[in-house]
Structure 1
């Protein structure tokens, strides 16, 4: 099997400007501008610090020394202690179709399980069809209403996944 041509690693402070630029480039592509979207979260400019908090992690996709996207998990604001949120998972167009989304999802869910979360929640926007297919392939189930208090009132599609321990290796 060929190497994917990218690597996923924990975010570093030097990655903050690149991730902020990616978020601010990708979100408008899907109409996610204005109040109620993560693009306005203050943490966008200092992701490495925001995800250094307990039970939080953010990862970047890097190819040839260039950051092409990222994604992370953190406790769900206003949620129960057993629920995390998949947060700020965005990729530049050149990272799409490489399998980076599925690999990032696996890495984030692995981190969530390692932090002891029993459920993972996410919010998205209708029209992000490829992302929703990835969520559904990963086992997420659509919810009828949001959970927690994320402040992302612009999102209109919600998913959750019960985090079962991965099967034991044979």
Structure 2
């Protein structure tokens, strides 16, 4: 596989990123109220992640965006916890280690920005994603945190961030 690149989202990526989010969420039957597919930011991810407390990245392969993910402050959180948000990959990009690379990039960037903890919500049926989070050291949580509006998620994790 040629080397995909991870880069910050650009405004011209908005339409493609929205397509990826909707395609992957639908693939895993994560549609309807309580899932991030319903978030108003889906069509304007570039604009939604322009604050100094947030970052959003795309994975480009052969000149085409095929994956995405980022983080921002946990809504309703404690101010030192960020939330990993909307990390999705098209099926043709899965299995090549890009999830691990993007996750590590998000963790490193969040740590550099001063966050002490990263939280995430997912669904149990996203088996590979759950395995990746656990492998990276995320600890399962008994319940949701913050006020994300993602009441249909059923799996929650957190990772303590440590400066290198």
- Superposition TM-score tier, normalisation by shorter sequence: over 0.9
Q: CA deviation at 1:113?
A: 0.3
Length-normalised TM-score, structure 1: 0.94
Unmatched 5+ stretches in structure 2: none
* Pick aligned residue for 1:120 from 118, 121, 133: 118
What are the superposed Cα offsets for residues 103-160 of structure 1, whole Å, 9 maximum, x if unpaired?
Answer: 0001100111011000000000110000000000111000000110000001010000
Displaced runs of 4+ in structure 1, greater than 3 A? none
Find the residue that maps to 1:15 and give its secondary structure.
helix
**Residues in 2 aligned to 1:114 and 1:55: alpha-carbon distance in whole angstroms:** 11
* Pick aligned residue for 2:66 from 68, 78, 81: 68
**Residues in 2 aligned to 1:107 and 1:99: alpha-carbon distance in whole angstroms:** 12
Q: Is the 8 A contact 1:62 1:69 kept in 2?
A: yes
The equivalent residue for 1:141 is: 139
What are the superposed Cα offsets for residues 42-65 of structure 1, whole Å, 9 maximum, x if unpaired?
Answer: 100010110002210000000111
2:18 matches 1:20: yes
Find the residue that maps to 1:161 and give its secondary structure.
strand
2:96 matches 1:104: no
Q: CA deviation at 1:25?
A: 0.2
The equivalent residue for 2:42 is: 44
Q: CA deviation at 1:20?
A: 0.1
* Pick aligned residue for 1:55 from 53, 56, 64: 53
Aligned CA distance change for structure 1 residues 83 and 4 (closer, same or farther; 3 Å): farther
> Would you say how many aligned residue pairs link Structure 1 and Structure 2?
164
Q: Is the 8 A contact 2:34 2:150 kept in 1?
A: yes
Length-normalised TM-score, structure 2: 0.98
What are the superposed Cα offsets for residues 46-94 of structure 1, whole Å, 9 maximum, x if unpaired?
Answer: 1011000221000000011100010001000000010000000000001
Unmatched 5+ stretches in structure 1: none
Output the aligned Cα RMSD. Answer: 0.9
